[in-house]
Amino acid sequence: MSLGIGGRVRHGIPWILGAVLAAACARQARKDVTPPLAADAPQAAAGAAAEQDPEAGPPLSAQEQIEHALSRVTFGARPADKERVSRIGVAAFLEEQLHPEQIADGAVEEQVARFPVLRRSSAELAQELARYRKQKKEDKARATATAMPSATMDADPVAEAPDPNLPAAALPRAGQRDLRKQLGKAGRGPAFDMVAQLAQAKLVRAIGSERQLHEVMAEFWFNHFNVFAGKQNEAALLPAYEQQIRELALG
């Protein structure tokens, strides 16, 4: 997930992102003494960037700073976001986003709660995969023993969709095909449902969460430390893996 969307970009680290990361790192190192982000911090960062690169153009206007900040620390600005940041200021908005634990996000968490895979342990999910594979092996042996026609033995991956009552079944048919293709052999049975639920939960948070900086950084680190969901038991491990990244997304 690229952080370089929208806004006017300076050479090197964009000034808004640099200010946010510097504040986050400083707060992590000395939480007890680090003061809140100063109200003029965005303007100061913009001025410093202009001095370092005189050819970068004139400093951003107040409105441009708002649009730049929203494009860097969110998945996309909503009209209400622009109005609010205009009212409280860029610095106050960034200070808010640096403390996601203080931002109420109940509506999104309620939506995410409908994905049961997020509440199950890795061991439980792995056991489910093991049972599925054992059953598939037994079914194949039984089919071979009874000399079933090869046409019935060649299962269609799309036909092996998860239980229609599971959340993953809500994916459009084309989306299911694409996800199965990417997962290979793991794109069948419970592994598909585990990955699909996780993907849908991430999308719900990216679209609706008020903790936008936290979601952007969680996705950034999840992509940075990427693992292949179709490998062995990775589908069973991914929900806990993603949760661990979420807890440390801002340091």
pLDDT digits (tens, 9 = 90+) for 60-83: 888 999 999 999 999 998 889 999
Listed residues 33, 67, 98: the one ending a domain: 98
Question: What count of other Cβ atoms lies within 10 Å of the Cβ of residue 55?
Answer: 6
Q: Do 93 and 119 fall into the same domain?
A: no
34 belongs to a structural domain: yes
Token code pair at residue 187: 């794109």
Query: What does the block give as tokens for 242?
Result: 């993603």
* pLDDT at residue 10, as a whole number: 35
Q: Token pair 């009874």 is at which residue?
A: 146
186 lies in the same domain as 238: yes
Contact 116, 197 (CB under 8 A): yes
41 or 249, higher pLDDT: 249
- Banded pLDDT at 232 (limits 50, 70, 90): confident
Per mean pLDDT, which of 12-26, 48-62, 159-173, 206-220 is the most reliable? Answer: 206-220
Number of compact structural domains in the chain? 2
229 and 149 assigned to the same domain: yes
Domain boundary among 98, 116, 131: 98
Asked which of 73, 98, 123 is the last residue of a domain, the reply is 98
**89 pLDDT higher than 60:** yes
Residue 8 lies in a domain: no
With the C-alpha atoms ordered 14, 19, 24, 25, is the resulting torsion angle positive or negative? Answer: positive
Which residues have CB under 8 Å from 238's CB, separation 6+? Answer: 194, 195, 198, 227, 229
Domain containing 229 equals 108-247
